[in-house]
Structure 1
Amino acid sequence: MADHLLEVRDLSVEFHTVAGPVQAVRRISYYLDRGETLAILGESGSGKSVSSAAIMNLIDMPPGRISSGQILLDGVDLLKLSPNERRAFNGRRIAMIFQDPLSHLNPVYTVGWQIREALTAHGTDSVTAAAEALRLLKRVAIPEPERALDKYPHEFSGGQRQRVMIAMALALRPDLLIADEPTTALDVTVQAEVLALLKELQTETGMGVLIITHDLGVVAEIADRVVVMEKGALVEAGTVREVYKNPQHPYTRKLIAAAPGKGKMHEPAPRAEPVLCVRDLRKTYGSFQALKGISFDLMPGETLAVVGESGSGKSTLARILLRLDEPDSGTAHWKGRDLFSLSPAELYKLRRDLQMVFQDPTQSLNPRMTVYQLISEAWIIHPDILPKAKWRERVAELLVQVGLGPEHMGRYPHQFSGGQRQRIAIARALALQPQLIICDEAVSALDVSVQAQVIALLDKLRKEMGITFIFIAHDLPVVRDFADHVMVMQSGSIVEFGTVRQVFETPRESYTRALLSAGLDPDPDIQAVSRASRLQRTH
């Protein structure tokens, strides 16, 4: 037997571009043992996903090329295997779950068919495969598993799709499971459930788990050891506690310092005349009640965080307030004007005051438009705001305001990182000088340091320009650092409302306490106590 289940030695990966070769991974080495969880921690562009893709032979070659190194699984160098030999390893010995299961599950086949295919492709007969598919869905706690076999991926929630992906990955009982950002877009309670499931399955099977993440809380919750990557290089390695408590590299210290949830809480100003008054808002889709009598007031210049699990009604509320959807009943008065009784012409004029920043800037920014075109489009729609002669100058000012530069004007969205694209989306929202910005999970998919920068930017804009924010989020540490008041929603209703200090320090409702306890702390000692407390309550 080899010394380690997985051993990566001196691995380098480069990509050929028109500007020359780019070193995505630079001579990294690490190991993983059976029954152990190793986290690869780093921001976008650090090379963590590329290095794991090399293990599965998922790098597009060309333009990619593994220029040096060995990848040993039980002493066998995977890089020397023929394609036929490699197929015997992928799936059977090594499996992978991805960040976005909807993109990696085939939309035209049922999940039962897809799990069965993973088994039959490696020689399992169809009767055994059908029984095993059902067993796996039961094991990953999919509701009504017999019916779920015949459902398509879009018919499941995000957390359920991730469980289906885990079931597929474990179908052939692999020795090594690679999890690439498996919980980034999930609610805190669902994230905790998925991570607990991975740990349970690991205990049952003895597999090694390689988890790729930018979330220090996930590292503290599930990992035994961690390696830190920056710009393709491995800069630090050790046990989770060693690296968190005594980081040696400046980059690691920067990541730890950027972790949210440790800053000073906002103390909101005395409540004044509200700018937005919502009363008894209701919305039903078929037999599903998305909103059940929502009422609240929003003060000028404050940040109201709206938290809750998927399906709680947060995004439905945002869409209705922006008139992207219509309510069944209820009122919403913006500075005394009923939003739902405005004529199309009146609503058109009001649009400039109410803007939105979406969760995924890749989808909300037109890929065929340059940054200049994306931002100046607002002034084409509302030509009375700014004369055309001043557009270029104002775009440059907005880019500087969000931490970019005038030189970025001529580039397209795909030429930026996720954090930079979100800054462009914020600049576009600011172009109309809005009074209210609704942020719908605007920072949930960003790296911790980029997330900290974007939150600092929004807070700065709030103070300097008096902008009011509705901040929809599932990341409670970010809410703690940024919001003035918190509104907790569950199944279309408001179950708790209060200042950040009230909700985080003395929550009244059991649902709020469950959300807070499911949150992950980057400190492994604190997280160990929280994990032990959860296990005690469970048993």
Structure 2
Amino acid sequence: MAEAQPLLEVRNLSVTFDTAQGPVRAVRDVSWSVGRGEVLAILGESGSGKSVSSSAVLDLIDCPPGRIESGQILFEGRDLLGMSRAERRTINGRRIAMIFQDPLSHLNPVYAVGWQIEETMVIHGTSRAEARAETLRLLARVGIPDPAEAAAKYPHQFSGGQRQRLMIAMALALKPDLLIADEPTTALDVTVQAQILALIEELQAETGMGLVIITHDLGVVAEMADRVVVMNRGEIVERGGAAEVYRNPQHPYTQRLIAAAPGQGAMRETRQDASPILSLRHVSKRYGAFTALHGISYDLHEGEVLAIVGESGSGKSTTARLLLRLEEASGGQALYRGQDLLAMSPRDLHALRREIQMVFQDPTQSLNPRMTVYQLISEAWAIHPGIVERARWRARVAELLAEVGLDDGYMSRYPHQISGGQRQRVAIARALALEPRIIVCDEAVSALDVQVQAQVIRLLDRLKASHGLSYIFIAHDLPVVRDFADRVLVMRGGRIVEQGDVRQIFEMPREEYTRNLLAASLDPDPEVQAQRRAARQAMETA
């Protein structure tokens, strides 16, 4: 627990960013601390200031446009803000390290990962030979197979979970006293998330380092945190023990966060009266000698939400890409209203493509950064003329934005000028522009804050009812699936290992793989999560 003198103490920190619309006070008079061996969680949504306050610790705020207006950041009693750049460099990396949210953005794509980890140590005075040996040890320690071979690979050659392990290896290379983990498991599958959190916890126990976890995931707080501070609009609105804050939240914002946590509502009853709108029959996909899909078959019924769950590499996203002909299948049929989508000519497929649309996981990558929101949505009508008269384009875009909870003022904005949740709403509006019958959501809410996630799920549900939509909902967030889906397919290694209605899958899973997936999912209640952890540890030691 915390010592008399904390390892790190942030006192009355205020950070402002200058924008074209005027100054934005991103952090306002914030104070928090963490001791050796302690885990502090900073909880809040995008824009709450949680990442900005931690970036200030490592001097990672771009100045300009950002500036630290006031405050102190005391590391072992010394104010980091009063140090020279040279002094900060002796602490950053060596004494205080950080794991970033998106490892692909923070690993250099043109250097082998082994060299990048070595360089972290070489910069701080370690010999190249010693750094190389330590790199291989670290790669093995964080669970990367065949460290010598892996060290010569590049970031794009690893999975998301493996890239996060590489970031952990790099952060721990110099055995820091303090580790800051900024959304370390966002968008990872539940089993990979559990492995990453267990690894961080194990390494912390070995080294006694202090740990600050920045997150919007209540399950991560429940699993890891001793104490929690809750941030909203740049201010700390609540603080206390993790269980205390969950059980007895005082601030309305904290109460809304906890109420929005998925997996707490009633499960849906499966509809039995609808006919299939889409039928996959023995669909397979091979990449050379590797088989990604082993002849899978399933039906999607009218007005149904069919969830597909499984770990990375299970084939769930491959299914979606084949269905939309973003890749070509190696065999099988995908029958949509009796027509085989996989055998259609490009001309025939173009005519039907408007009826099956997709919302991708990352709207930042799927929305053209050079186009305004108006252009992004109306582009669909230029590609598929006859849906909306050009004279009505602007009015129809405004109607679609209203349907997804945005006003017409967003039409002139570019993707980078709106939040992640708003970008995902624009992506949904773009999909709706073609009046489809089926929407494929590929991890469409996985990286969203809990309240925004709940809003988007409610939006999708409302649109399903008003537009008669059917959804293929690909997800790794099992509590969201529990709340939203009618039926669930569980995939592993390119095969469907189990399928059934949502109640059967969540309450009476037949397969051990499904039970392991459910067991790896985190509960937002710290007491429930502590019981799960104790049960898991008892099984491991049995």
The interval holding the TM-score normalised by the smaller chain is: over 0.9
Equivalent position of 1:481 in the other structure: 483
- Give CA-to-partner distance per residue, 1:340-370, whole Å, 9 cap, x none: 2222221111011000000111111111111
Q: TM-score, normalised by structure 2?
A: 0.98
1:67 to 66, 69, 81: 69
How far apart are residue 488 of structure 1 and its match? 0.4
Structure 2 counterparts to residues 416-495 of structure 1, below 5 A: 416-495=418-497
Mapping for residues 366-405 of structure 1, pairs under 5 Å: 366-405=368-407
Deviation at 1:273, TM superposition (A): 2.2
Q: How far apart, CA to CA, are the structure 2 residues paired with 1:467 and 1:114? A: 47
Equivalent residue, structure 2, for 1:31: 33
Q: Secondary structure at the match of 1:341?
A: coil
**Counterpart of 1:275 in 2: which secondary structure?**
strand
Supply the distance in 2 between the matched residues of 1:383 and 1:298 (Cα, whole angstroms): 28
Q: CA deviation at 1:2?
A: 6.7
Q: Greater CA deviation, 391-400 or 420-429?
A: 391-400
Residues 274 and 303, structure 2, Cα contact 8 Å, conserved in 1: no
Supply the AA of the counterpart residue of 1:450.
V
Residue correspondence of structure 1 range 165-180 to structure 2 within 5 A: 165-180=167-182
Deviates more, 1:172-181 or 1:400-409: 400-409
In structure 1, how many angstroms separate the alpha carbons of the residues matched to 2:203 and 2:345? 56
C-alpha distance 482-369 of structure 1, shift in aligned 2 (>3 A) = same
Q: 1:280 maps to which residue?
A: 282
- Partners of 1:366 and 1:239 in 2: CA distance: 43
User: Which residue type is aligned with residue 455 of structure 2?
Assistant: Q
User: Separation in 1 of the partners of 2:472 and 2:273?
Assistant: 16
Question: Which secondary structure state, in structure 2, belongs to the residue aligned with residue 512 of structure 1?
Answer: helix
The answer on 1:15 being equivalent to 2:26 is no
Instruction: Report how far residue 271 of structure 1 moved.
Output: 4.4
Deviations 1:89-145 (A, max 9, x none): 001110001011111111121121111111111111222212211111111111111
Match of 1:226 among 207, 225, 228: 228
- Residue in structure 2 matched with residue 43 of structure 1 by the alignment: 45
SS at the partner of 2:444? coil
Q: Which amino acid aligns with 1:95?
A: A
| Residue 514 (structure 1) aligned to one of 503, 513, 516 | 516
Aligned residue for 1:86, secondary structure, equals helix
* Contact 2:94/2:124 (<8 A) preserved: yes
**1:149 to partner: Cα distance:** 1.7
- 1:123 paired residue number: 125
Give the secondary structure class of the aligned counterpart of 1:211. strand
For 2:374 and 2:21, locate their aligned partners in 1 and report how far apart those are by CA, in whole Å.
24
Unpaired segments of 5 or more residues in structure 2?
none
> Aligned pair count?
539
d(CA) in 2 for partners of 1:225, 1:116: 34
1: CA distance between counterparts of 2:104 and 2:230?
28
Partner of 1:4: 6
User: Counterpart of 1:225 in structure 2: which amino acid?
Assistant: R
How far apart are the structure 2 equivalents of 1:127 and 1:378?
56
Aligned to 2:260: 258
Percent of aligned pairs sharing the same letter: 69
Q: 1:308 aligns with which of 283, 306, 310?
A: 310
C-alpha displacement of 1:465: 1.2
Shift of 1:19: 2.1
Shift, 1:395, TM fit: 1.0
Which residue of structure 2 aligns with residue 87 of structure 1?
89
Question: In structure 2, the residue corresponding to 1:45 is in which secondary structure?
Answer: coil
Question: In 2, Cα distance between the equivalents of 1:263 and 1:298?
Answer: 24
Partner of 1:240: 242
Deviations along 1:228-274, whole A, 9 cap, x unmatched?
A: 00000010000000100000100000000000001111112114321
One-letter amino acid of the counterpart of residue 56, structure 2: A
Q: Give the alignment partner of residue 163 of structure 2, picking from 161, 164, 168.
A: 161
Asked whether the equivalents of residues 498 and 510 of structure 2 are also in contact (C-alpha less than 8 Å), the reply is: yes
* Contact 1:279-1:294 within 8 A present in 2 as well: yes
Structure 1 residue 537: deviation in Å?
2.0
Letter in structure 1 aligned against 2:532 = S
The answer (yes or no) to whether the contact 1:2–1:75 under 8 Å persists in 2 is no
1:11 partner amino acid = L
Shifted more, 300-309 versus 375-384: the winner is: 375-384
Q: Check the 8 A contact 2:40/2:213 in 1, yes or no.
A: yes
The one-letter amino acid of 2:497's match is: V
Range with bigger deviation, 270-279 or 50-59: 270-279
For structure 1, the residue ranges without an aligned partner over 5 or more in a row are none
Further displaced range: 343-352 or 231-240: 343-352
1:532 aligned partner: 534
Q: Which sits farther off after the overlay, 24-33 or 132-141?
A: 132-141
Match of 2:270 among 268, 271, 290: 268
Counterpart Cα distance in 2 of 1:20 and 1:293? 57
Q: Matches of 1:182 and 1:291 in 2, distance apart?
A: 29
How far 1:45 sits from its partner (Å)?
A: 0.3
Deviation at 1:311, TM superposition (A): 0.4
Instruction: Provide Cα deviations, 1:459-510, integer angstroms capped at 9, x if missing partner.
Output: 0111111100000000000000000000000000000000000000000000
| Aligned counterpart, 2:504 | 502
For 1:348, the equivalent position in structure 2 comes to: 350
Find the counterpart in structure 2 of residue 199 from structure 1. Answer: 201
In 2, Cα distance between equivalents of 1:348 and 1:70: 60
Query: Cα RMSD (Å) of the superposition?
Result: 1.0
Alignment counterpart, residue 184 of structure 1, candidates 183, 186, 195: 186
What residue in structure 2 maps to residue 358 of structure 1? Answer: 360
Checking the alignment, whether the CA contact within 8 Å between 2:228 and 2:239 is kept in structure 1 is: yes
Superposition pairs of residues 142-153 of structure 1, within 5 angstroms: 142-153=144-155
- Quick one: distance in 2 between partners of 1:3 and 1:386? 66
Match of 2:99 among 93, 97, 100: 97
Contact 2:40 / 2:228 at 8 angstroms: preserved in 1?
Answer: yes
| Matches of 2:75 and 2:203, distance apart in 1 | 20
Deviation above 6 Å: which 4+ runs of structure 1? none
Partner amino acid, structure 1, of 2:275: E
